[in-house]
Amino acid sequence: MNDSTGGYTAVEALALVQGLLTDTRAGAAAPADLVAALTVLRQLRAELADWEPELVTAARAQKVSWAVLAPALGVTSRQAAERRYLRLRPSATGERTGEQRVRAQRDKRAGDRAVAAWAHDNAAVLRQLAGQISALRDLPNRAQRHADLVGQALAEDDPASLLSPLADTHTHLKATHAGLAAQVQSITDQATQIRHATHATRSSSPPAAEQQTHNRA
């Protein structure tokens, strides 16, 4: 690895610290060298912490399961492995702490499940609308590409897969097919409201760890 720590490569930094430990145990370490080694160790520790989520991300991209990753991360369950990863990885959505990232990810999944359940309950409506849009043949090229994507999603078994491509057609349908555009907007609004309602419900409840602590008290 080419990462550097305080001007040293990671291998050099580790060798420096190990060398100072040997000197310390022999009673030959100078105070200034000990302080320098501690500084390098702190920087090395921070760098190692950055490597872990990067490697986990790469493993997940290669379809390595959380169950397989768990023992490598020193935890005993797939849930604990994912929780550790969420705590360590940088946030792309503004959460400042690991716990906030864990909660944000679980809120998103809860919203996804609620929307998917709603889509299954309204599969006939979604498929009918998707069928009408995918059958259009008088659209400009860009709009036609979006309509074709709706047709591709229509071939899948999961009605929730229709939501995103349907939403993407709204802008392209407003001028020439206002009625279909209005139906798309209604569907999109309902899915958004379900996500917001799910998030609001979860936000009003304490996190699971806090709830378990309260129950034990």
**Which residues, 6 or more positions from 80, have their beta carbon under 8 angstroms from its beta carbon?**
70, 73
As a whole number of angstroms, the distance between CA 163 and CA 118 comes to: 11
pLDDT at 107: 77
pLDDT at 206: 53
Mean pLDDT, rounded, for 92-105: 60
User: CB-hemisphere CA count at 13 Å for 118?
Assistant: 19
Q: Which pair of structure tokens corresponds to residue 107? A: 């809120």
As a whole number of angstroms, the distance between CA 77 and CA 198 comes to: 26
For residues 5 and 44, the answer to whether their CB atoms sit within 8 Å is yes
CA 159 to chain centre: 22
Report pTM. 0.53
Mean pLDDT, rounded, for 177-206: 87
pLDDT at 209: 43
pLDDT at 116: 93
Average pLDDT, the chain: 84
pLDDT at 166: 95
As a whole number of angstroms, the distance between CA 185 and CA 216 comes to: 47
Q: Which pair of structure tokens corresponds to residue 65? A: 């399961």
As a whole number of angstroms, the distance between CA 97 and CA 195 comes to: 23
Over the stretch 14-44, which tens digit does the pLDDT of each residue have? 888 898 999 899 998 899 989 988 988 888 8
pLDDT at 100: 67
